[in-house]
Structures are given as structure tokens and as C-alpha cells.
Chain A
Amino acid sequence: MIDTIYFEEDISEHPRTLSILAKFKAARTIPIKRFGELFNQRKQNFRIQKSKPSLILAQKHNGHVLQAPGGFGIGGTKNFYFSHMYNCVYDCRYCFLQGMFSSANYVVFVNFEDFDKQIERIINQHPEETVTFFSGYDCDSLALETITGFAAHILPIFKNYPGSLLEFRTKSIQVNPLTSMKAISNCVIAYSLMPEVMSVALDNKAPSIKRRIETMSKLSKQGWKIGLRFDPLIHGENWRTLYEELIEDVFKIIPQKSIHSVSFGPLRFPKAMHRDIFKLYPEDPLFSGPLQQRGPIVAYRQEIENEMADFCRQMFAKFIPDSIIFQCTPEGQSPELENNERQTYSNNG
């Protein structure tokens, strides 16, 4: 429950600010100049904050839409991402957001219209190509939808551009804006998945895998295209059996015609990020497994990574054509993005 909301003074009268504040009548509201003065402050304790995050309402001034790293795509030739929000209501132990921001508070950017403009500009710059936009890179796309209304706002834009593609990456089972409208053919609702027993240990506060699969099934029946995201792949005892069961279950329930794409990728952290997250949660078993430093990243040993990737790819191939299976690899990054760890690693499920 959010009981503190900070808001930038410049957007105090913004209709979206007023609408969000109206949903939290009992919350203490605190005006601030710029969200960065609070959010980027040093000497914050992410772990304690995560136990009771506050909400920050702000305006995004630039960088509304950014180029996605190479090795991160689902078939389109141009890939971009945007985040109307920073941070997530869930607390997944492998998530890079833990090491990305010094604050666990949620930031919601209320100037959605500026995102619209930039999305449309990019689409118009590439009239002959399929431009894919990923939502949910720095947050979960749908988890706070009842508060932000972002999905309901952005979906109609994409209706006008059927040649482009929008992916909502989520673990949320609150999908009201989707179920209350006609499915849009160029929108993919992508669910992060891992074997239930791993999810119980790692996906803190997130809906169970069973509920996610039920929600995907519901959405597919309404005509929505579904993305299956096995990213990151988690190693552990009986991992083959666990993934085999999961993959078989998913494909038994979600009809092949509803599946837009399947992607999978290894667990990976930039070295500094791994150090920071381990410092935050040194007692977590995720960091006790066979992780090792490989150049600038910390990941499972190469043979484990390859074995898991090969196994999963073969499993997927039993149910869907190769053309819609995508492997996310840190090696696939664009050279110009090499120094931008944030854009290169995306264990945000």
C-alpha cells in the first residue's frame, strides 16, 4: 500500500497527477522540485525502501524512447524500448533493477503524450521496416496499470500503425485494459516464465506461474498475441525436468496460433551489478549456485549456459517453428552500447 506520494511541483496540476492522487486520498503528498533530487540521492537503503516503497510522480524531459541493445529482439529490424515507470512492484531476486537504481521507490512519468510523439516520430522515420517497441524494461508494463493507465493510453496509438509492433513485458494478472478492448494484432503481451518451484523462491510478490499461464490463456482466447519469455534461465537441481514440464504445460494450454514468439536468455549480470545485488541480498541462494565471472559479466559457467539454451531450444522446437524462437544474448549487443550496462542486460523478467 502506497502511503507517501512525492510529486514534482511543475506537474502538480497535470490531469494525470490529479487523477493518480485522487486514488490515494489518505496518502501523504510531498512536493519536490525534480524527482532526481530524491530518487538519485546517494545514501539510500534499497532493501529497506523495498519493504515499503513510495510513489514519485514526475515528468520525463528526454530519452522517452531509446534504442534496444543488439541481441534483444523478436524478429523486427529496428528495436526500441521505453519506460513510463522506473522500478517494479515485484521483488524478483535476479532483476537488474535492484542494482540499477539507488532507490526502490516507484517513479511514474505522467507526460505520456511525449512518449506518443517520440514513438510516432520513430515509426515515421522507418516507414519500410517493422519497428518493435518494448515496454517494461525498467518496470513491469502492467503491474501498476490500475494506477497509471499507461497501457490503456498507449494501445490506441499502435492501432494506427499496424506495421509496427508493441510488446508489453509483464508478470501481472491484472489485465483489465486488455480484456475490456478488442485485441490489437500488432501488440504482444509477453509473460516471463520459469518453473514454479524456482519462481516461488525468486519471484517475490509476483503472481504464481500457474496464474500467469491462466491469464495468458484468457488473453489468447480474446485474440491477443502472446509472447513467452524464458529469460533468465535459472539453473538448479532437476532443471531439465522442471523446464520440460513447464514448457509442455504452457504449450498444452496456449494454442500455437496465439503465440507470437518465444525468447530465452541466460542469467547474467554486469560484474559491478552482481556485486551490488549480492551486497543487498547476500543470503539469497541465487548467488550461491555455479555463477562465475566471465569477462565483464557474472553468469553461469559457459557449459551450463549452452546446455540450458540447447535444451530449451529443442523443447520449443517440438511445438513451434524456429522462425519465432529468439535467443537473447549479451554477446549480440551493439558496439556503441558496450559501455551502457543498463541497456545490455535485462534480467528484469
Chain B
Amino acid sequence: MIGAPAIRWVIALKSEAKPIIEKLDMVPSKKGIDFPVYRDKKGYHWLIISGIGRARSAAATNYLQQESDAPPWSAWINIGIAGYGYDSYGALYLVDKITLEKSNLVAYPGVAFSTNLPRAGLLTVNKPKMDYSEPNLIDMEGYAFYEAVNKFSCRELLLLLKVVSDGPKSNVKELTSGKISKLISGNIENILSLVVQLEDFSKLEFKRLVPPDICRQIKEKWHFTVSQEHQLSILVRRWTSLFKENALFSEIKNQKSSKSVISYLSKVLDEYEVDWGQS
């Protein structure tokens, strides 16, 4: 069984990804054919380097989802550099609104994090933009990343972080790979503190979505149809909310068939009076 948490990183540049790869002790994955893909030893964290622009970001997000077998409780992170008219070079921002340039399209990533990080809106543009008169951060991937992730996840399991790299007083042309990596590594502790929260959300979702492990053992002993499996999953959830999971198997071990397992559990639960003082 795949364990929680599941975190997926989509990053445009190798220089942006380098500090994350090093900090999480990631290694290249054999699965990265179309895009460079990295993963940590446990397989909790996967990272893809998408390249620049909306099309590549969307393609890489979909690619990583498939190649890493991202489960439904996966949380997704996009981190990278961005231009900003307020020119706080090196500052890390949590993005809470994304607008796609020259469109009416707007997206709102979840904001259930506890953090003191400053927040800002993000404008995703098609071509590099040197006009910093706009009130938002500026990047070239954010909206596409959100749109791609939102097809298979929810906005609360999605995090966009941007580090200011250029602005009216910081020339984008002076950026080097080394400087970009430093911008990310200079914020690594703040980034990881948000990742910890995202991991907690992912674990919560894992518990919510994945039936207790005892279901697997029960299905190994008796044959259940698809419909019965669904019934079993609900009954086991109900049972484990009242009693210890490890007591279930001995409770039903004498049942002769899947049908009698279901019938027995239904009867026990339907007659049970919840002891609210114990719950």
C-alpha cells in the first residue's frame, strides 16, 4: 500500500529545483524520459522540471501525475522566481490569486495554511514582461499549473510560491543560475514549513480516502463482488469508528462467506447504541 503523504513538485528551471532536490535528498527517476524527474527514497516527494511557459508547465504536471502514479491525496507545489513591481528582491510570497494575462480567467488557490509569509496575486504571462506597473507578481507558468492540477486535485492541496527575482530595481538580465538557486535556498526553511502543513493535509486525505487496512485482509479471506466491496468498505469504516481495528478480524473469522460477513457487520452496527461518553 502506498503510504501518505504524497507531494508533487512542478518547477520550471533546474536552478530553481536544485536546492529542493538537495534538501529532500532526491535522485533522478528512471521514469523521467520527456522531462527530468526526481524522487526521494520513500517515494513521498516527486519533482519534475518543466521548462518555461504555460504549455510546458501543464504538460509536465500531467506527465508527473501519470509517471508518479500520483494518488488522489497528492498535494502539488509550484515554486519559482517571479517579477514584482514592489521589488522586494529575494522575498518569498504565497500566491492566493492567479490571473491569466489577456483573459478573464482567475483562479484562487487554497489558503488554509498557517503562515506569516506575505501574500500576493500572480499574473501569468505568455512572454517575458519588463513592465512592472502591475500590482501582481509576474510569472509564465502559475495559471497553467493551477489549471492542470485542478483537473485531478482540489485547490486546498495546491501551493504556489514565488520568490521575487526581478523588478524595477533588479534587472532580470543580471539573473544567473547561481543567483536563482540562491534565491530559492535563501527561503528553504519557510518553504519547508509550508510543505509540512501540506503533508499533513495529504495525510488527512489519505486517512479519509483509503479504507482501513483490515479491508484488504478481509478481501483476501473471502471473495467480494465490486458492489460488496463497496458495502464492506462502508461497514468497516463504521465499525472502526467504534471499536479497535485489530479486533475486527476475530469478530468475523467464523463467517462462511462474503455475504455473511456483510450481513453480520450490518446487524451488529444497526443494533449498536453509541456510547457518546467513550467516542
**Are A and B associated in one complex?**
yes
Check if B111 sits within 8 Å of A289, measured CB to CB: no
Given contacts A43-B150, A288-B242, 12 further A-B contacts (CB under 8 A): A4-B96, A6-B108, A44-B155, A45-B205, A47-B208, A48-B154, A48-B205, A239-B273, A280-B208, A282-B237, A285-B274, A289-B274
Check if B270 sits within 8 Å of A30, measured CB to CB: no
Given A288-B242, A288-B269, A236 and B204 touching (CB < 8 A)? Answer: no
Grouping DSSP codes into helix (H, G, I), strand (E, B) and loop, the A interface class, with mixed when no group exceeds half, is: mixed
Check if A37 sits within 8 Å of B274, measured CB to CB: no
Chain A residue with minimal CB distance to B112? A52
| Residue A80 interfacial (CB < 8 Å) | no
| Residue A49 interfacial (CB < 8 Å) | yes
Check if B276 sits within 8 Å of A284, measured CB to CB: no
What chain B residues lie within 8 Å of A41 (beta carbons)? 108, 155
Check if A283 sits within 8 Å of B204, measured CB to CB: no
User: Which residues in window 31-58 of A have CB below 8 A to B?
Assistant: 32-33, 37-38, 41, 43-45, 47-49, 51-52, 54
Chain A residue with minimal CB distance to B207? A283
Closest-CB distance, B97 to chain A (whole angstroms): 5
| Residue B18 interfacial (CB < 8 Å) | no
The interface of chain B, by Cβ under 8 A from chain A, is 96-97, 106, 108, 110-114, 119, 121, 150, 153-157, 201, 204-205, 207-208, 234, 237-242, 269-277, 279
What chain B residues lie within 8 Å of A278 (beta carbons)? 234, 237
Chain B residue with minimal CB distance to A28? B119
Check if A290 sits within 8 Å of B276, measured CB to CB: no
- A45 to B272 CA separation, bound complex (whole angstroms): 31
What chain A residues lie within 8 Å of B275 (beta carbons)? 236-237
Check if B241 sits within 8 Å of A285, measured CB to CB: yes
Count CB-based A-B contacts (< 8 Å).
Answer: 113
Check if A235 sits within 8 Å of B274, measured CB to CB: yes
- A200 to B274 CA separation, bound complex (whole angstroms): 14
Given A48-B110, A288-B238, A236 and B273 touching (CB < 8 A)? Answer: yes
- A49 to B157 CA separation, bound complex (whole angstroms): 10
Closest-CB distance, A243 to chain B (whole angstroms): 12
What chain A residues lie within 8 Å of B239 (beta carbons)? 288
CB contact between B155 and one of A32, A43, A282 (< 8 Å): that residue: A43
What chain A residues lie within 8 Å of B97 (beta carbons)? 30
What chain B residues lie within 8 Å of A22 (beta carbons)? none
- 10 A-B residue pairs with Cβ-Cβ distance under 8 Å, sorted by A, are A4-B111, A48-B204, A195-B276, A236-B273, A279-B208, A282-B234, A285-B274, A287-B238, A290-B271, A292-B270
- A224 to B114 CA separation, bound complex (whole angstroms): 40
- A195 to B275 CA separation, bound complex (whole angstroms): 12
